[in-house]
Structure 1
Amino acid sequence: MDLVEALHAEGNTTCVVGAGGKKSTLYALAERLERAIVTATVRIPPFEEHVTEVRVTEQPLEALESNVEWPIGLVRAQERSDRYRGYEPALVDDLVAEIDDEVSIVVKADGARTRWFKAPADDEPQLPATADVVVPIVSAKIVGEPLDEEHVHRPERVEAVTGLERGEEISTTDVATVLSSDRGGFRDVPDEATVIPVINMVDDSTLEDTAREIAAEVHDRRDVSQVVLTCLLEEEPVVAVV
């Protein structure tokens, strides 16, 4: 199964949240989708090398009225030289309502500051109501690492969801708990959206064993169709679909 099929991304609005490979997932999807828009509802670093162009505009629909080469990036403003500002979720909903059904939208819907694991803050994630698929992501490499700010974004939130204390070792159970929690990977997911957790950085057989343990525990906690294991640095990034 390829990445587009595994994440049900073709023709859908796919929102990626969590930590450990959000942007890489967006760009890998954009590369493989026939007609894709890459955007965000939060800040996003420059990503021109992953799309044909980035159009900076307050009116994304108007930006699509001129000639488009796919995939295209749409952002609201350039906030600083090292980041763009995304759109309000309602504006993404407006975009979804007007574009062709064959166009896929991939959305960065929260931040993690390059960490491997997180649980969302009160104002996260910023999900459009029209999201078809929500992809909570985590790095398999977080297992065995301490719960600290070096490895985890918002460690106090992970503490609250898992019962871990600062500095304690993160287990597969802790990761699965956050991925499957309404205070974690399922936070504010629209009722009609499909949740497909992704465990990324599955770079070798040992990490695959770890990821499969996490996937099994997610299935024990939530009714999800599948958990996708990825190594996004590979040409074929899907390691397994559990």
Structure 2
Amino acid sequence: MSGKLYGLGLGPGDPELITLKAHRILTSAPVIAYPAPDTGPSFARQIAAPYLRADQLEVPMIVPMRVERFPAQEIYDSAAITLSHHLDAGSDVAVLCEGDPFFYGSFMYLFERLAHRYPTEVVPGVSSMMAAAAAYGRPLAARNDVLSVLPGPMDDADLSLRIESASAVAIIKLGRHFARIRTLIAAMGLTEHAGYVERVSLANQKLMPLADVSEDVAPYFSMILIYKGAEGWAHTQAKPPERPL
């Protein structure tokens, strides 16, 4: 009998946003795998850290952080081989995923290599987009609104076309593209409709109207939310709590 492969969505960063199901599997699986950069700690592991046990075997999957396109095929080929050894030995393997495994998640590359060979279960997680809307205090979409999720690296022509055709927009993966995207939003006359969310659910979270952002760069874990649909919350932002929960 082989082990079972799990893809565990851990949510956007707050360990309390891990689902009960993901927590049960996380605390019981003998092998824990997670993506890790070649410099610095693994964010996925940091989310799960409060629940990890000393007797669990940890398998970091090193993914170089480069501007050029990743994931590189050979990295996931190698990781799949490593995990298959544990699965063949009968050990369940839980792969930790920031956010949701199938929403821009790295687990999908392991899934396509291993799911046809081993019993596999994907446990969905709270996506950063849902967490950002909740934190900012403005609904994403309603009724017949069309919501578009747009990656920041898209070129200006494609971005403007898709923003124009949608009622609500979440622009993710801002990073080094932030200044260009902010300029594009201003040119489209949508700055007052846009909110900025950075490192949602973490202690250093930032929430503000896009017009109030003074910096010209943004971290990778940031997002712009735009609403221009029929509802009246385009300019709404909930009042933040006087103290964090």
The two structures have a TM-score, normalised by structure 2, of 0.34
Which structure shows the higher helix fraction?
2
Q: Which has the larger radius of gyration?
A: 2
The two structures have a TM-score, normalised by structure 1, of 0.35
